[in-house]
Amino acid sequence: GGYRVLKLKNLPTSGHATGIDWVAGLVTFAASLLLAFLGAFKPAILHGNGIVAIVFGILGMRLAYVQLKSFVKKPRDKMFWMYTHLEYFIGSYIAAWSAFSVVTLTQYLGDQWYIWLWPSIVGGPAIVLTTAYYRRKFSSRQKAATAS
């Protein structure tokens, strides 16, 4: 994830993913697929939190797919590692807020899907906007460097 991508900084040029990178990506994808499957077809196993399991499962599969794809098709942007690290850093913050909400707010509001998902609903756009900001910032620096 966010730490491992720092080891893959030179993936766009001469770098390559190691076995642990592949295993982590494949296990994440498989576990996320199972979570989404259970949410869709066996929500009782998850104490009725099928919607939450489906959302987190799809999110996990997407993250794993993007990571695995970067191992096969080299990223074109040499700053890809920075954006990935930033996305995972903010994602860990979202996860912390999710855990806090589930432990604390369910005591007052019950075990509702929105208690699990509100940090992702707020944090998802924060990831997109923050990453877009830094893409623009680094892109303009690279253009200025090549122009001079």
Q: What is the pLDDT of residues 83-109, one digit of tens each?
A: 999 999 999 999 999 999 999 999 999
Identify the pLDDT of residue 84.
93
Per-residue confidence band for 72, with pLDDT thresholds at 50, 70 and 90: very high
Per-residue confidence band for 6, with pLDDT thresholds at 50, 70 and 90: confident
Query: pLDDT digits over 17-55, tens only?
Result: 999 999 999 999 999 999 999 999 999 999 889 999 999
Identify the pLDDT of residue 83.
94
| Per-residue buried b or exposed e for 15-24, using 16+ beta carbons within 10 Å of the residue's own CB | eebeeebeeb
Identify the pLDDT of residue 140.
77
Mean pLDDT of the chain: 92
Q: What mean pLDDT comes out for the span 61-81?
A: 94
Per-residue confidence band for 147, with pLDDT thresholds at 50, 70 and 90: low
Identify the pLDDT of residue 99.
96
Tell which phi-psi region holds residue 47, choosing left (phi > 0), alpha (psi between -120 and 50) or beta: left
Nearest 5°: phi and psi at 5?
A: -65, -25
For residues 56 and 68, give the distance between their C-alpha atoms in angstroms, rounded to a whole number.
18
Per-residue confidence band for 148, with pLDDT thresholds at 50, 70 and 90: low
- The model's pTM is 0.87
